[in-house]
Chain A
Amino acid sequence: MSLIIPIAFCLLVFLYLGIYNTVIRRRNAIDQAWASIEAMLSKRYDLIPNLVATVMQYMSHERELLDSITQLRTQAQAANSKVPEGVMADDALTKSLSGLLVSVENYPDLKANASFVQLQKSWMEVEEQISAARRFYNAAVVQYNNSIQVFPNTLIASIHSMKPTETYEAEAIAHERLNAKELFS
Chain B
Amino acid sequence: MNQEQTETFEVLFQQKLLPLLQDLENKRKSLVPPLRISIVFVILPFLFILFLPTPKTTTQIDTQSTISLILILVLFIAIIAILIIYFKYERKISRPFKKSIVPPLLALVNENLEYSPTGSISEAVYKKVNLHGKYSLYHGEDLISGEVSGVPFSLCEIHTQRSAGSNSDGKTKYKTIFEGFFLEAKFNKPFLTRTIVCARGTKPRELKNILSYLSSTLERIHLEDPDFENLFDVYGDNQTEARYILSPSTMERMKALQQRMGTRVEFSFLEEQLYVTLASRVNFLEPRFFKPITDDGYLKDYLYTLNLILEIIEDLKLNDQLGVNTSKPDYL
Contact = CB atoms under 8 A, between A and B. Distances in A.
B243 A135 contact: yes
A118 B331 contact: no
Most buried by A among B223, B324, B325: B324
Contact of A39 (B189, B321, B330): B330
A35 B331 contact: yes
A74 interface: no
Contacts of A122: 323-325
Given A118-B324, A133-B331, A138-B224, A128 B247 contact: yes
Contacts of A33: 239-240
A129 B329 contact: yes
Contacts of A39: 329-331
B330 A43 contact: yes
Contact of B244 (A43, A121, A132, A143): A132
**Chief secondary structure at chain B's binding surface:** loop
B322 interface: yes
A129 B241 CA distance: 8
> Chain A contact residues: over half helix, strand or loop, or mixed?
helix
A121 B241 contact: no
A132 to B, nearest CB: 4
A36 B329 CA distance: 10
B140 interface: no
A136 B224 contact: no
Nearest to A35: B331
Contact of B190 (A40, A125, A133, A138): A125
B240 A129 contact: yes
Contacts of A70: none
A158 to B, nearest CB: 26
A43 B244 CA distance: 15
B331 A121 contact: no
A132 B325 contact: no
A121 B323 contact: yes
Given A125-B324, A129-B240, A135-B243, A40 B224 contact: no
Given A121-B323, A139-B222, A139-B224, A128 B239 contact: no
Interface in B285-332: 321-325, 329-331
- Closest 6 pairs between A and B when the two form their complex, measured CB to CB: A39-B330, A132-B243, A132-B244, A125-B323, A36-B331, A36-B240
5 contacts: A132-B243, A133-B240, A136-B239, A136-B240, A139-B239
Given A35-B331, A132-B240, 12 more contacts: A33-B239, A39-B329, A40-B331, A121-B322, A121-B324, A122-B323, A122-B324, A128-B322, A131-B247, A132-B242, A133-B240, A135-B224
